[in-house]
Chains A and B, each alone.
Chain A
Amino acid sequence: MSTHRFLVMTRSAPYGTSAARDALETALTCSVFEQPVTLLFLDDGVFQLLKGQAPASIEQKNLNAMQQSLPLYDIERLYVSKRALELRGLSAADLILPVELIDDAALPALLAQHDTVLSI
Chain B
Amino acid sequence: MIFSIIVQAPPVQSQGAETALRFTRAVLAAGHQVHRVFFYRDGIHNGTDLASHPQDESSLPAQWQALAQEHNLDLVVCIAAAVRRGIVNEGEAKRYHHEHWNLAPGFELSGLGQLVDTCLQADRVVTFGGRS
Q: Is the CB of A33 within 8 A of B113?
A: yes
Q: Is the CB of B127 within 8 A of A119?
A: yes
Q: Is the CB of A17 within 8 A of B115?
A: no
Interface size bracket, B side: 10 to 19
Total number of residue pairs linking A and B with CB closer than 8 Å: 43
Tell me the bound Cα distance from A120 to B128 in angstroms.
Answer: 10
Residues on B with beta carbons closer than 8 Å to the beta carbon of A32 = 113
With contacts A18-B41, A119-B129 taken as known, whether A6 is within 8 angstroms of B8 at the C-beta atoms is no
Q: Is the CB of B120 within 8 A of A35?
A: yes
Residues on A with beta carbons closer than 8 Å to the beta carbon of B81 = 22
Tell me the bound Cα distance from A11 to B8 in angstroms.
Answer: 15
Q: Is the CB of A30 within 8 A of B8?
A: no
Contact of A33 among B40, B116, B125, B132 (CB under 8 A): B116
Name A residues whose Cβ lies closer than 8 Å to a Cβ of B. Answer: 1-2, 4, 6, 11-12, 17-19, 22, 25-26, 29-30, 32-33, 35, 115-116, 118-120
